[in-house]
Structure 1
Amino acid sequence: MIRPGTIAEAWHVLQAIPEFDQRRSLAQLQDRLPAGALVLIAEVDGQPVGCKLGYGAEDGTLYSWLGGVLPAHRKTGLAQQLLDSQEAWARAHGFTSITVKSMNRYPAMLRLLIRNGYQIRLVEQVGDPAKERIHFAKPLS
């Protein structure tokens, strides 16, 4: 089940995702997310196991900032459900496009984005291909 959630719930999920090497405090998440930001929680048996955070960017797009699914619950369709819910939320709130950044070291995320019509707009070259930041955008119709 995908539902609106709190920043604290999302923070607990993010702390348990092993790929994230930059740990943020709850206060850092709260500082970054403006009032009215998107906070989605994927829940299984009443427990949060995934999340998606986003907010309106200066250019009027929804910036899909941070999210993930706990390893034990991957390949169950939850990431797709979070993405679908994010797009529906963005449309309902008047956004005409979604932007997101990812990296080569997250191939499952790259495949999910491309499979769902997100287009590569820019690749930030940093020397290490695994750490290159790939910028995606998807217009919402």
Structure 2
Amino acid sequence: MKFCLFETLPTQKVKEEISSLHYSIFQQPLPWEVLQTKESPLIQIAEEDACVVGYKIGYEEKRGRFYSWIGGVSPAYRGKGIASTLMRTQHQWCKENGYTEIMTKTKNKWRNMLILNLKHGFDIIGTYTDHKGEPKLILSKSL
């Protein structure tokens, strides 16, 4: 397993592989355009046999706060610690780059992600209903 970290947008090939994996998990396209207006993007991937099997993307939300935006692991590779490795790497990078807080949001239906966040020190700090009428959880972790 190879893990890679990009502080700018990766190559088109890597973007396409991340997009394909994202679509297979969430059944919707990954909106790359969101990153065009964000400071300090961080894109991480896990590769096996030169194929992306996991990814985690985030960006600076405001000075000192990093937003862990989106990520996923191929169902065939779950349970192997890939998401935890990506999360630990993201948090270490955030510390090294002066962030003191990480925020994220998830839905109750993504239980594995919720449990992973809680295991890695996030606290649930709020909820809201998104534009689709689904409840979302807001989580925060102090670094």
Q: TM-score, normalised by structure 2?
A: 0.83
1:46 aligns with 2:47: no
Residues 1:119 and 1:11: Cα distance change in structure 2 (over 3 Å): farther
Structure 2 counterpart of 1:110, from 114, 129, 135? 114
SS of the residue corresponding to residue 23 of structure 1 reads: coil
Structure 2: gaps spanning 5 or more residues: none
Instruction: Tell me by how many angstroms 1:7 deviates.
Output: 6.6
CA distance in 1, matches of 2:15, 2:124: 27
Instruction: Tell me by how many angstroms 1:58 deviates.
Output: 2.1
Structure with the larger strand share: 2
Residues 1:7 and 1:33: Cα distance change in structure 2 (over 3 Å): farther
Asked if structure 2 preserves the Cα contact closer than 8 Å seen for 1:104 and 1:110, the reply is yes
Instruction: Tell me by how many angstroms 1:10 deviates.
Output: 4.5
CA-based RMSD of the aligned residues comes to 2.4
1:92-131 Cα distance to aligned partner (Å, 9 max, x none) = 10101110000011000001011111000111146x99x3
Aligned to 2:77: 73
Asked if structure 2 preserves the Cα contact closer than 8 Å seen for 1:62 and 1:95, the reply is yes
Aligned to 1:85: 89
* Letter aligned with residue 21 of structure 2: A
Aligned to 1:3: 4
* Letter aligned with residue 74 of structure 1: R
Aligned to 1:23: 29
Aligned to 1:12: 17
CA distance in 1, matches of 2:15, 2:72: 9
* Letter aligned with residue 3 of structure 2: I
Aligned to 2:140: 137
Q: TM-score, normalised by structure 1?
A: 0.84
Asked if structure 2 preserves the Cα contact closer than 8 Å seen for 1:52 and 1:67, the reply is yes
**Percent sequence identity over matched residues?**
29
